[in-house]
Structure 1
Amino acid sequence: MIRLLKSRLARFRRDESGSPTVEFVLVFPLYLGLMALSVELGMVTLRHTLLERGLDMAVREVRLGTGSAPSHDQIKVLVCENAVMISSCESNLRLEMRPADIRVFTALDATVDCTDRSEESKPVREFTPGQQNQLMVLRACLKYDPLFPEGILGSALTKDVSGQAAIVSTTAFVQEPT
């Protein structure tokens, strides 16, 4: 009986038929996590690029416009029209614009004012349309839902109470004279 048990244990120890399964079980979750991280990072990059493009195109129209100062809502519509693939852009985008003095430049506040689904709608933080030849600083904050909120990148993002993360883009321009 003991000899039979020893021979079966020795045969079991020499058998390598299950070793690829062990490697797969150990390595596959790592690859799956890296793939999810890559997809999430790609979507964040795409959203940020589209927001930058929309902001640049809107600023170009404002800068080369008729000289009339556009309103907050008009610029928001311009940004969202040019940032083509961002879902719910107008409800998740918040703009802040103020004039800046080129001789004594002060940056915008470090705290970015974004939309938040869990709070009541807030009025515009500061939106001062510029005049001719005036330097303007425009900041856009876009809130979005991460694809994998509990994934590697999704859990590392700073999110609000409703689970949305923010993308912030800032630009400066000089309003052209008419």
Structure 2
Amino acid sequence: MPPPARFAGNILCRFRRNRRGSAAVEFALVAPLFFGLLFAIIEVAFIFFAGQMLETATQDSARMVLTGQAQNGQIPGCSTPCTQAQFKTDVVCSKISMLFDCANGIYVDVRSYSQFSSVSVTPPIDAGGNFMPAMQYSPGNAGDIVVVRVFYQWPVFVSGLGFNAANLSNGKRLLTATAAFKNEPF
């Protein structure tokens, strides 16, 4: 029987020369970072896609105010003029219902002003990272300046490994879309 020191040296030497399973060990070391990065990229892509859908729906919905259809009740399902709830469900949510939860998550803010210099848009997030939904609905008259903003609190799932796309204190990302325009004469 070889002495214990020599036996330990043989085992270490054989262990260093043996390459079986090295790929599995290397993959086990790299896999968490790789998958974390992959899921973060996928989540950011979904956030950008959802933001673009919200932007498109806001522009399309703002057109209803711009042309006076929301004020004159020319939208199916709306009274004369559309109420805030009707504008949200019949105009905005009808354009984005497959990706967003319209019942609980969509907030629509429509404000009118007499001139561009009087436009005052307040941030919807306070210093503590809380969403403050102080929504109004004032589509204005012909020639008024109107700002339409639509908000959605997007859930964030990948927040580990130093990456967190959330900008709200509840761990969600506030998506915002805005359209500013002057109403046409209607």
TM-score, normalised relative to structure 2: 0.76
Distance 2:9 2:44 in 1: 54
Shift in Å, 1:33: 0.4
Task: Map residues 39-50 of structure 1 onto 2, 5 A cutoff.
Answer: 39-50=42-53
What secondary structure sits across from 1:38 in the alignment?
Answer: helix
Which structure 2 residues correspond to residues 77-88 of structure 1 after superposition, within 5 A?
77=89, 78-88=91-101
Q: Unaligned stretches of 5+ in structure 2?
A: 73-80
Question: How far apart in 2 are the matches of 1:26 and 1:65?
Answer: 61
Q: Give the alignment partner of residue 82 of structure 2, picking from 51, 58, 70.
A: 70
Aligned length: 170
CA-CA distance at 1:109 after TM superposition: 0.8
Q: CA deviation at 1:152?
A: 5.1
Q: Which runs of 5+ in 1 are unaligned?
A: none
**SS in structure 1 at match of 2:140:** coil
**8 Å contact kept, 1:37–1:151:** no
Q: Identify the match of residue 22 of structure 2 among 5, 15, 19.
A: 19
- C-alpha displacement of 1:75: 2.1
Which residue does 1:94 correspond to in 2?
A: 107
Q: Distance in 1 between matches of 2:98 and 2:86?
A: 19
Structure 2 residue aligned with 1:159, among 164, 168, 172? 168
Q: Following superposition of structure 1 onto structure 2, how do residues 22-33 of structure 1 map, counting pairs within 5 Å?
A: 22-33=25-36
- Cα 1:82/1:158, change in 2 over 3 Å: same
Which position in structure 1 is the counterpart of 2:117? 104
Instruction: Spell out, residue by residue over 1:26-59, the C-alpha distance to the aligned partner (whole angstroms, 9 max, x if none).
Output: 2111110011102211221121111111111111
Distance 1:48 1:156, change over 3 A: closer
Q: What aligned pairs does 1:131-142 form with structure 2 within 5 A after superposition?
A: 131-142=141-152
Distance verdict in 2 for CA 1:105–1:152, change over 3 Å: farther
The superposition leaves residues 106-129 of structure 1 with CA deviations (integer Å, 9 ceiling, x where unpaired) of 33012349x97xx9xx7x533222
Pairwise CA distance, 1:177: 1.6
Contact 1:98 1:138 in 2 (8 A): yes
Query: Which amino acid is 2:145 matched to?
Result: L
Q: 1:8 aligns with which of 11, 16, 31?
A: 11
In 1: Cα distance, 2:135 partner to 2:120 partner: 15
Preserved CA contact (<8 Å) 1:54 1:82: yes
Query: For the structure 1 residues 63 and 90, does the alpha-carbon distance in structure 2 shift closer, same or farther, using more than 3 Å as the test?
Result: farther
Measured on the aligned residues, the alpha-carbon RMSD in Å equals: 2.8
Q: In the alignment, which residue of structure 1 is the partner of 2:75?
A: none
Q: Report whether the alignment pairs 1:125 with 2:128.
A: no
CA distance in 1, matches of 2:51, 2:115: 27
1:170 aligns with 2:178: yes
Q: TM-score, normalised by structure 1?
A: 0.79
Provide the identity percentage.
26
